[in-house]
Amino acid sequence: MAEWSAVEAERLLREWTQGESLVKHGLSVARSTEGYGQREAARLGLEGAEAERFAEMYRCAGLLHDMDYERHPSVEEHPFVGVAYLRENGWPEEILQAILAHADYSGVVPETHLQRALFACDELSGFLTACALVKPTKSIADVEVAGVKKKMKDKAFARAVKREDMTRGAELLAIPIEEHIGNCLVALQAHAAELGLAGTSAD
């Protein structure tokens, strides 16, 4: 591969994944993670094209973190098959290590900011999507931090989402869970149409 990019990452996600919900999950995790990349770029004093490229790496990690999940869902294969493919095709090691670190059984502990951001955004992005889809409008614009926290306590709601990963993610980023929820909400709301979360009013 000549050059890595978010366009190529999304193409791979769609090539490896038939299920629309899993594609949407990749897109939403990508946007949430990208938001943290933008914040980190600003903190580091990066500007312009350099800042954009920095955040794009975060977005690519989000797009690719579950690219092999549909074909290889077992803990023996996911995310190792995808990472092996990406490595063979010249993707940056920073992205590959972040993908490995999002799986708590991979042996890679989330240590870099990118690794922590991807881990933190994975479960929460799915949970925020679920929160939007139960709204009468099905719009992410109508989801609020307080409502999300309330839903987190409802064990019957989106029961497959690991609450402990959401709270651990905020701890890894060294911010309160409320701030983490708010950050991810802002990112998803900014790309609501792309994620299918603009709601009924946009139809």
Q: Helix crossing, 163-172 with 177-190: angle to 10°?
A: 100
pLDDT over threshold 90, residue 104: no
Asked whether residue 45 is assigned to any structural domain, the reply reads: yes
Asked whether residue 125 is assigned to any structural domain, the reply reads: yes
> Mean per-residue pLDDT for 62-90?
97
What share of the chain in percent tops pLDDT 70? 98
Q: In CATH, what number is assigned to the domain containing residue 65?
A: 1.10.3210
Q: How far is residue 170's CA from residue 178's CA, in Å, rounded to a whole number?
A: 9
The range of the structural domain enclosing residue 50 comes to 6-194
Asked whether residue 123 is assigned to any structural domain, the reply reads: yes
User: Residue 162: what are its φ and ψ, rounded to 5°?
Assistant: -80, 110
Give the total number of structural domains in the chain.
Answer: 1
Residues 39-45: contacts with CB within 8 Å, 24+ apart?
A: 39/183, 40/113, 40/117
- The per-residue pLDDT for range 123-145, each reduced to its tens digit, is 999 999 999 999 999 999 999 99
Q: How far is residue 186's CA from residue 148's CA, in Å, rounded to a whole number?
A: 13
DSSP string, 138-199: -BGGG--HHHHHHHHH-TTTTTTS-HHHHHHHHHHTTS-HHHHHHHHHHHHHHTTTTTT-B-
> Mean per-residue pLDDT for 38-65?
98
Q: What letter does residue 23 receive in the DSSP assignment?
A: H
Asked whether residue 56 is assigned to any structural domain, the reply reads: yes
Asked whether residue 1 is assigned to any structural domain, the reply reads: no
Asked whether residue 182 is assigned to any structural domain, the reply reads: yes
Other CB atoms closer than 10 Å to residue 182's CB: what's the count?
15
Say whether pTM exceeds 0.85: yes
How far is residue 177 from each of residues 55, 115, 121, 168, 192, measured CA to CA in Å? 22, 18, 12, 9, 22
Q: How far is residue 134's CA from residue 142's CA, in Å, rounded to a whole number?
A: 10
pLDDT over threshold 80, residue 2: no
Question: Tokens in use for 37?
Answer: 């990349």
Partners of 198 in the β-ladder:
139
Res 202: pLDDT: 42
pLDDT over threshold 90, residue 1: no
- The per-residue pLDDT for range 153-200, each reduced to its tens digit, is 999 999 988 899 999 999 999 999 999 999 999 999 999 999 999 997
Asked whether residue 118 is assigned to any structural domain, the reply reads: yes
Asked whether residue 199 is assigned to any structural domain, the reply reads: no
The closest alpha carbon to 137, from 42, 187, 91, 203, belongs to 203
